[in-house]
Structure 1
Amino acid sequence: MGGLAPSVLYKYRVRSGSPEAPWSDFGTFVSLPEAGAATPFTFAIWADMGVYSWNNMDSVIANFEARTIAFAAHIGDHGYDIGDLGRGDGYFDAISAMYTKGLFVPGVGNHEYYHDHFHRYDAYTSGIAKYNPSHSQKYYSLNIGQLHLIVLDSTPYFDMPGSDKAQQREWLEA
């Protein structure tokens, strides 16, 4: 998404399907600081969340609402669903409230590859790869203020099927 003023609070809602489809509730987010700007900011980063009651979503949501973080990054091993759709639903239930509060930067971990469901993620996110300089939805980088954030796919180092170690390394070294 382009054309947003940096560090501005935006309010939005979405709908899908026909014009008669219902609108969602309103969500908000603050656009990222301008690339290269010396604006100080903080962000939340974590991995290995799962679906358990001791996850950190209440803290992340509170920080978004207080505008004390610019974005949240989950660097992999999201829901540990490993083919268990109930766990996948549990993860989404746990994290979905955060999606309406701020910007989310996801990464891929080895647990996303386990079982045969990773191809679904790969399929519905592959369209964004052509807009990404890495040409992949599994690894990419962002310029946020003076931060150059690199999100890598850790699975090539576990020799997981479907991972692309050589391409990721070439992109990273370029």
Structure 2
Amino acid sequence: MKSSNITLVLRVWQGDITTLPVDAIVNAANPSLLGGGGVDGAIHRSAGPELKTYCAGLGGCETGQAKLSPGFALPSQYVVHTVGPVWHGGGQQEALALAACYRNSLLLADAEGVVSLAFPAISCGVYGYPAREAAQVAVNSLCQAFEDCHLSKQIWLVGYDQHQCTLWQEALAARPSL
């Protein structure tokens, strides 16, 4: 999608998000921001103990919101921490909360001058959000944020396995303007 010098580049990448050399990676965090399992645990282990110490001073994070930390030992300069919704069947505005995660993470990163940003599949692990639906919400939310805010960014949609990458690709293909 291009409009004058506003550019959105969305790419799918398979692998470990902690190894991707981008300006910032997004952490699918828990509300404490102090580490956990899945992507959250991998990011904390790769960044080193300084990340947990730093995050302890952030005062946690509400669902749908985002907070920023340095990347410490990661190849990325920053980590954007966001707390996705727990899936309860879709009737508790989970899609709105998930869309807020992507939008707020993107806007926070933009405020720091981040140009390249990598997102995992937020809420698709232990929080139980159906991955196909989550991929659609993510892509739609990111595209809408670009249209609303006129941002220029390179976004990597990261899947640890081929199945998640396929879901990202399907969600991107469903957007006719990309």
RCO comparison, higher one (Cα < 8 Å, 6+): 2
Give the TM-score normalised by the residue count of structure 1: 0.31
Give the TM-score normalised by the residue count of structure 2: 0.31
Higher helix share: 2
Specify the structure having the higher radius of gyration (Cα). 1
Higher strand share: 2
